[in-house]
Amino acid sequence: MDLQSIKNRFGIIGNAPALNHALNTAVQVAATDLTVLIVGESGVGKEAFSQIIHALSSRKHNPFIAVNCGAIPEGTIDSELFGHEKGAFTGAVDSRKGYFETVSGGTLFMDEIGEMPLGTQARLLRVLETGEFIRVGSSKVQKTDVRVIAATNRELLEFTQKGRFREDLYYRLSTVPIRVPALRDRQEDILLLFRKFVVDFAERYKTTSVQLDEEAKNLLIHYPWPGNVRELKNIAEQISVLSPNQLVTASDMRRFLPEKTVNRLPVLAAPAHTGEFANEREILYKLFFDMKKDVTELKKMFLDILQNPSLVSSAANYTRDSLMNDFHGASESAPMISAPVMTQPANATQPFLSAGSNNGQAVLLHDDDIHHHEEVEESLNIVDKEKELIVKALKKHKGKRRDASLDLGISERTLYRKLKEYDIDE
């Protein structure tokens, strides 16, 4: 049987080289019992290829059943495929034959094979290799003679690398792979398919078939068709029923095509919880680290003043107008961390700026004013700081838990738990 006869028999429309290659492969493999894996996007017509393979095989007079593996719940798929014994699980009031038992001698088309659970994949591999299976709840091994044709819109090889699909099963299924091209890769077939669909719908709805002007044809050809042939058929039906004019223009066509098309370019996924924190403890950590950074910058500023006395005047202005304001603002939302008091080197003769203040004014200290210095080590105990923040927030909001929890960035329930945990008396 030549290729055109097969297209006429099974309603295949198109002459794209990729489509013809897929059909030729299906015809050649049909006479064998080899397992076939049909790969293609959703809506390209993978099931039609499985029907072609079955109809041209020696099993054509035996059963053909199509099963969507993605539509069967994980808890029942083993029972659907291999059957079960009475009492095997809750609700199993009778014994039941599975597809591998009822289709013995025929062909089983397993669509969306990539959605099959890993446990079921192991049982399927055994059937493909030995022709044996066991019903759920039974210990009796049974034989079957089923040809399996699998289909997927996933890249199963990538699934094997991620541990979502068995590698041995992948190579067992893809004995003969057939890749069905997407509609956007068959642009020369788009107008042929559209013409066939609108003629069929005109006959069904007793209307005159619509025509396309050149701009509308060009728009139709260059649309990406993420839904492939299925989407094209839907658009053709909408236009046949809803178009007010027999001649469809590009502006008319745009009314029926989706405004936003699917972006198929790879993108970098944004990290989860961007700009957010997983919990209140992380918020506290960031707050303390930011405060530590501020203190470090203050130390550096004082050291620069010590080494360059000419900066005293500008530093005093900065301290009066900016730095003290920052400290007062920080004290409203976080505990103040004491900066170390830095003394003047022994050989220095110039006065320098003290971290202390007198009514908000910078104070200049001289040699005879300072006798020793003390480094105050900063406490980074997260529990102490967390407790201190909670107490401060409650005082600020006069014991109102709701307002305090909002200020702390935690839930009221979490705040209540923290009060109990730290034994804080309100």
Domain ranges in the chain?
A: 3-181, 185-256, 300-369, 382-422
Domains 3-181 and 382-422 share a fold: no
Max mean pLDDT among 38-42, 262-266, 310-314, 392-396 falls in 38-42
What's the mean pLDDT when you consider all of the chain? Answer: 81
d(CA 100, CA 145): 8
Q: What is the pLDDT of residue 10?
A: 92
The CA-atom distances, in angstroms, between 225 and each of 43, 194, 230, 231, 305 are 10, 12, 9, 7, 68
Exposed / middle / buried, residue 103 (Cβ in 10 Å: 0-12, 13-18, 19+): buried
Residue 7 pLDDT: 92
CA distances from 24 to 20, 256, 264 (A): 6, 35, 29
Q: Please write the tens of the pLDDT for every residue from 224-235.
A: 999 999 999 999
Any alpha helices (H) in 257-377, and if so which ranges? 280-307, 312-318, 324-331
The region, left, alpha or beta by phi > 0 then psi within -120 to 50, assigned to residue 399 is: left
Share of the chain above pLDDT 70, in %: 76
Q: Are 109 and 50 in contact (CB under 8 A)?
A: yes
Task: Please determine, looking at this structure, whether the domain spanning 185-256 carries the CATH number 1.10.760.10.
Answer: no
Which three-class secondary structure string do you get for 102-118? HCCCCEEEEECHHHCCH
Q: Are 303 and 256 in contact (CB under 8 A)?
A: no
Indicate the class that CATH gives domain 382-422.
Answer: mainly alpha
Give yes or no for a contact between 384 and 418, defined as CB atoms under 8 angstroms apart.
no
Q: Which residue has the higher pLDDT, 112 or 400?
A: 112
Average pLDDT over residues 17-41: 95
Q: Which helix (H) or strand (E) holds 149?
A: strand 147-152
Name the more confident of 90 and 52: 52
Specify the pTM: 0.60
Residue 77 has pLDDT above 50, yes or no: yes
> How many C-beta atoms lie closer than 10 Å to residue 258's C-beta?
12
Checking if the pLDDT of 191 tops 70, the result is yes
Highest mean pLDDT (candidates 220-224, 308-312, 337-341): 220-224
pLDDT, tens only, 242-272: 998 899 999 999 999 987 554 444 444 444 4
CATH top-level class of 3-181: alpha beta
105-145: per-residue pLDDT in tens? 999 999 999 999 999 999 999 999 999 999 999 999 999 99
Per-residue pLDDT, averaged over 202-230, amounts to 94
Residue 72 tokens, joined: 């069967």
DSSP secondary-structure letter at 245? S
What residues pair up with 179 in beta bridges, in sequence order?
Answer: 39
What's the rounded Cα separation, in Å, for the pair 129 and 116? Answer: 18
pLDDT for the residue 299: 76
Q: Is the pLDDT of residue 329 over 80?
A: no
Q: What is the pLDDT of residues 39-74, one digit of tens each?
A: 999 999 999 999 999 999 999 999 999 999 999 998
pLDDT confidence of residue 342: 44
* Per-residue buried b or exposed e for 350-374, using 16+ beta carbons within 10 Å of the residue's own CB: eebbbbeeeeeebeebeeeeeeeee
